[in-house]
Chain A
Amino acid sequence: EVQMVESGGGLVQPGRSLRLSCTASGFTFGDYAMNWFRQAPGKGLEWVGFIRSKTYGGTTEYAASVKGRFTISRDDSKNIAYLQMNSLKTEDTAVYYCPRGRRSFDFWGQGTLVTVSS
């Protein structure tokens, strides 16, 4: 069974950092691009960024709203994708999801809540 489990969320002060993890199982993790999306309370889904598979260079792309502050990485030996979030702002408060895929996103975890507040 394909599963994605997001973790690492919590309450953090503005300007601080937080790292989220996405632990995958049930498929060959290294074959897939991994994405991060977020959803602020009461708002729509927002694409955050993705990391390509090593086959396609393992490179990353980001939304303008997080570029320069967020970094996506992956450890294919552990089946984990990471989202390093620096210089956090109150507007980064959201549930963060990590679905797999590039052309469509077929499996989503339940997300992890990040709250940025003083």
Chain B
Amino acid sequence: QSALTQPASVSGSPGQSITISCTGTSSDIGGYNYVSWYQQHPGKAPKLIIYDVSNRPSGVSNRFSGSKSGNTASLTISGLQAEDEADYYCSSYASSSTAFGGGTKLTVL
């Protein structure tokens, strides 16, 4: 199984947009359209915010969007709000495993 590569941290001011990248290989991100993203606040369970690259579950704000190009997926959060400060993880289907990112800490300045 492989680990996906994410930046350790990103930051932005309220109202701005930020993008978190997630780089894998042709065996995971590049091979399937099954990238998902998770938000985790301290002491809480992870929450699914994007699935199948760019789809949002019911109830997730449309400020969250996802995309993919080749072996790299991206999560964009627009109109940053204080409540968006959290850890974000990417994940990708792989045939005999699950690839998971190391997480990105988002700080809202």
Contacts and interface: CB of A to CB of B under 8 A. Distances in A.
Nearest to A6: B45
* Interface SS of chain B: strand
A106 B48 contact: yes
Given A45-B46, A45-B89, A63-B1, A106 B98 contact: no
B85 interface: no
Contacts, number: 56
A58 to B, nearest CB: 15
Contacts of B38: 45, 105
Chain A interface size, as a band, is 20 to 34
B97 A61 contact: yes
B103 interface: yes
A103 B8 CA distance: 24
Contacts of A103: 32, 34, 36, 51-52, 93
A73 to B, nearest CB: 18
B52 A105 contact: no
B96 A61 contact: yes
Contacts of A111: 45
Interface of B: 1, 32, 34, 36, 38, 40, 45-48, 51-52, 57, 87, 89, 91, 93, 96-103
